[in-house]
Each structure stands twice: as structure tokens, then as C-alpha cells.
Amino acid sequence: MGTIACSVILNRAAKTLFDETGVRWAPDELLDYLNAGIAAVIAAKPDAGSVSEPFELAAGSRQEIPPEFSQFLGLTHNLGADGDTPGKAIRQIERNELDHSNPDWHTAAGAAVLHFAHDKRLPRVFWTYPNATGWVELQGVKRPDPVAGPEYELPIDDLFESPLHNWVVAYAYAKSSKSGDMNRSGAYMTLFANALGLKSQLQFSFAPTDPDVAAKTGTDV
């Protein structure tokens, strides 16, 4: 969560565009560009939107992250029936391990969740073992609500102020059909991309990784 008002980014963008009075680009239009930029940052760098918060378990082993989340990162521990009582830690396990050791694990019941399993091909779904009721601590990538006005604080870290400025300016220039403005748009979009890293280096590797597996393969966790 940021500490600066979104107006700081929008006013800076307006100055860059030589349109501080909002004649060519209305303030609401620049705000729309800013919201699009925030979404782009989180898509490129999931850690910008990562949160850890209570999650109420559904019946059965199959669980799905809330609609405001875009990616599952893991579970840390049980939170009891009230969602506020720290309990047993939860470890990740490979689903095929459970399939081999206990083919009926999807119907196994218990007082608390001991393991979770996840498939990177299904980013919104995970499984818990054994089946339990109550709450757990969920880690995931959460999409912030759109910024409703320039007076609101930036919903992601302040360190993204400059990349977001470049995004807003790039989108504003892209509105124009003039070749000069399109060139400027491309230049500012390049600055935005460079600030976040090349596409091949973007942080799409945030799906949960078993520390034990990572230790065997030498993969960073």
C-alpha cells in the first residue's frame, strides 16, 4: 500500500504533457490511465499486489481463491473457527504424492488442514488435506479496487510512482494520431517496461514452490 496521493502522479503527468489545465486530457481520463497502469504493474510484478489474509474454507478438498484475487501463492497456517486463532502450520505437498499414498485423500476429514496442493496450470484453484472447516491464512495476489479519485492514496507501493507516471504519459500520447506523439508514447512505454524488467524476466514465478523440492533442484524459493 502506498502513502502518496494519486494526484502526485497525475499532476506530474499533466506537467510532462504540457496540459496542466486539463484541456487536451481531462483529469478523469488520466485517472483511467493510472488505474490501467496499476493493473499492468501487478500483472507484471505479482509481488506488488501480494497480500496475506484470512480465508474461509469451502466444503471438500477443492478450494478457489476469492474473485478479487488473481493468483494463489500459498497457505501458512490454520486460523480456527473464528478466523482469528492461530493454529497448526500448513505445508505444501505435491498432489501426486497424495494420490499415490492415499487415493481417497479428497474425502479425508480432519480437525485442521495439514497440507495444500496446487497446480500452476490452474492459478485460481488449490486443494487442502484433510478436509476441515474454519479459516486459514491465505497468501495471494489481490487486485486493488480502482482508484476513485486523485485524492486517494496509491494502492501499491510508492516505488512504482515513476513507472506509473511513464504509463500515464504513454497512454495519453497514444491518444494522438500525430507521428511525433506516437513516438513519444513508445518512448515512455519503453521507460515503463524497463523499470519493471523485460518481459522474459517478469515475476510470473510466484506460484507456490515446495521448499523441500526447491532444495533438491537448486531452485530459489
137 in the same domain as 53: yes
* Alpha carbon distances (Å) from 157 to 68, 173, 215: 19, 25, 31
* Alpha carbon distances (Å) from 146 to 33, 69, 108: 11, 14, 41
- For residue 164, list its beta bridge partners: none
What's the confidence (pLDDT) of residue 81? 97
How much of the chain exceeds pLDDT 90, in percent? 79
Please give the average per-residue pLDDT across 130-157, as a whole number: 96
Q: Look at residues 141, 98, 142 and name the one whose alpha carbon lies nearest to residue 117.
A: 98
Please give the average per-residue pLDDT across 110-138, as a whole number: 96
**Distance (Å, rounded) from C-alpha 156 to C-alpha 85?**
28
How does pLDDT run across 165-199, given as a tens digit for each residue?
Answer: 999 999 999 987 676 788 999 999 999 999 987 44
Per-residue confidence band for 17, with pLDDT thresholds at 50, 70 and 90: very high
Do the domain assignments include residue 206? no
**Which residue, 127, 142, 157, sits at the end of a domain?**
142
150 in the same domain as 135: no
Q: Using the predicted structure, report yes or no on whether residue 160 has a pLDDT greater than 70.
A: yes
φ, ψ (nearest 5 deg) of residue 218: 80, 15
Q: Using the predicted structure, report yes or no on whether residue 114 has a pLDDT greater than 90.
A: yes
167 in the same domain as 116: no
How does pLDDT run across 52-101, given as a tens digit for each residue?
Answer: 999 999 999 999 999 999 999 999 999 999 999 999 999 999 999 999 99
Hey, what amino acid is at 110?
Answer: G
What's the confidence (pLDDT) of residue 176? 75
| Neighbour-count burial for 128-167, b at 16+ CB within 10 Å, e otherwise | bbbbbebbbbbbbbbbbeebeebeeebbbeeebbebbbbb
The verdict on pTM exceeding 0.95 is no
**Distance (Å, rounded) from C-alpha 62 to C-alpha 41?**
30
Domain extent, residue 26, equals: 6-47+146-201
Q: Cell 476469492 belongs to which residue? A: 66
* Structural domains in the chain (count): 2
Q: Cell 482508484 belongs to which residue? A: 147
Higher pLDDT, 221 or 214: 214
Cα Rg of the chain, angstroms: 22
What's the confidence (pLDDT) of residue 206? 44
114 in the same domain as 130: yes
Which residues have a Cβ under 8 Å from the Cβ of 186 and sit 6 or more positions away? 170
What's the confidence (pLDDT) of residue 221? 41
What's the confidence (pLDDT) of residue 2? 87
Q: Using the predicted structure, report yes or no on whether residue 20 has a pLDDT greater than 50.
A: yes
Do the domain assignments include residue 221? no
Per-residue confidence band for 216, with pLDDT thresholds at 50, 70 and 90: low
